[in-house]
Amino acid sequence: MKQKNWLLSLSICSFVMASCTDHDLPPVQEKPATFKEVSAVDLGGESASEISAYDPISQRLFVVNNESAAKVDVFSLTVFPVVVKLLPIELSSLGGVANSVAVHNGVLAIALEATIKQNNGSVIVVNTSTLAQIKQITVGALPDMVTFSPDGKYIVTANEGEPSVDYTNDPVGTVSIIDVQSNYSVKTLDFSPFEGSKTQLATGGFRVYGLNATVAKDVEPEYVAISADSKKAWALCRKTTGLPKSTWLRVPFCASCRSVRRILACLAMPSIRPTRAIPSAYRPGP
């Protein structure tokens, strides 16, 4: 997670209340010309206020803040536009830096990297009303982003797997899928099955260039987006200019996402394994 190098403040706008939840509210027709700031809270400087998520059930806003220690700041908006700061969720004893938060149906998911960020990180699941911890689930190295599927059945993380500065420890990049209804069971996917396709992928514009690199090590997922039907997920791999695509629930493969340079990997639950890759020369239809 790249830290921002400016003084950050939390700006809360009147239009945000209708659009800042993870998946709970339907899209609304917005008029940008009417947007205006109605309240603000200064959370600190560098490493403060990078990712936030709003829970309409508890009417609380959760904001990642790693300026002094790993934590998630909690704000009550019950008397909005007055913003009331509550006790934070302290995370230092559970791991390293908090990278991302997401909310669904009264449940908060926090992506937390390990103290040594090349080790496996975790997702902390918290009740948004009581702030009681529900579960801590081990995922891949450096979970950079977390999100819920629209139906709330899955929590998905993009695990970047960044190497150490000297490349003596270079974990594989992965995507973790947590089954909420199965007591938060988790399956973590890597991209090692594509090692044999390295030459083909490179020809299509996919880069494998790190020290002693493999496809699995150089694929570093940083962001996940999930389809509205909760059956497909896309994980963006910026450093390799690639875009892996994963599907689960035994759904058919559907190459509906466009990218100039990408790898599309079809993954299926419950087997959770890559089944094919499509180089960038392929141009899917609409």
More confidently predicted of 177 and 238: 177
Q: Is the pLDDT of residue 267 over 60?
A: no
Q: Is the pLDDT of residue 282 over 80?
A: no
More confidently predicted of 11 and 76: 76
Q: Specify the pLDDT at position 233.
A: 82
Band of the pLDDT at 48, cuts 50, 70, 90? Answer: confident
Q: Specify the pLDDT at position 281.
A: 32
Q: Is the pLDDT of residue 141 over 70?
A: yes
Q: Is the pLDDT of residue 204 over 60?
A: yes
Region 240-259: mean pLDDT is: 36
Residue pair 174/221 in contact (Cβ under 8 Å)? The answer is: yes
Q: What is the DSSP string of the chain?
A: -PPP-S-EEEEEETTGGGT-SSSSS------GGG--EEEEEEEESTTEEEEEEEETTTTEEEEEE-SSSSEEEEEE-TTTTS-EEEEEEE-TTT-S-EEEEEEETTEEEEEE--SSTTSEEEEEEEETTT--EEEEEEEEESEEEEEE-TTSSEEEEEE--PPPTTSS--PPPEEEEEEGGGTTEEEEE--GGGGGGHHHHHHTT----STT--HHHH----EEEE-TTSSEEEEEBGGGTB--EEE-TTPPP------SS--EEEE-TTT--EEEEE-TT-----
Burial class (CB in 10 A: 0-12, 13-18, 19+), 72: buried
Encoded amino acid at 30, one letter: E
Q: Is the pLDDT of residue 151 over 70?
A: yes
- Cα distances from 68 to residues 44, 112, 143, 263, in angstroms, run 9, 15, 20, 38
Q: Is the pLDDT of residue 17 over 80?
A: no
Residue of 51, 164, 171, 46 lying closest to 99 (CA atoms): 51
For 120-143, letters b (16+ CB in 10 Å) and e give: bbbbbbbebeebeeebebebbbbb
Taking the mean position of all CA atoms in its chain, how far away is CA 262? 19
Q: Is the pLDDT of residue 196 over 70?
A: yes
Distance CA 282, CA 265 (A): 13
More confidently predicted of 224 and 283: 224
More confidently predicted of 81 and 251: 81
Lowest mean pLDDT among 113-127, 173-187, 246-260: 246-260
Distance CA 70, CA 234 (A): 28
Q: Across all residues in the chain, what is the average pLDDT?
A: 76
In this structure, what token pair is assigned to residue 17?
């209340």
Q: Specify the pLDDT at position 159.
A: 94
More confidently predicted of 13 and 208: 208
More confidently predicted of 206 and 112: 112
Q: Specify the pLDDT at position 202.
A: 75
Q: pLDDT tens digits for 82-136?
A: 999 999 999 999 999 999 999 999 999 999 999 999 999 999 999 999 999 999 9
Q: Specify the pLDDT at position 239.
A: 64
More confidently predicted of 148 and 28: 148
Q: Specify the pLDDT at position 40.
A: 86
Q: Is the pLDDT of residue 9 over 50?
A: no
In this structure, what token pair is assigned to residue 161?
């797997």
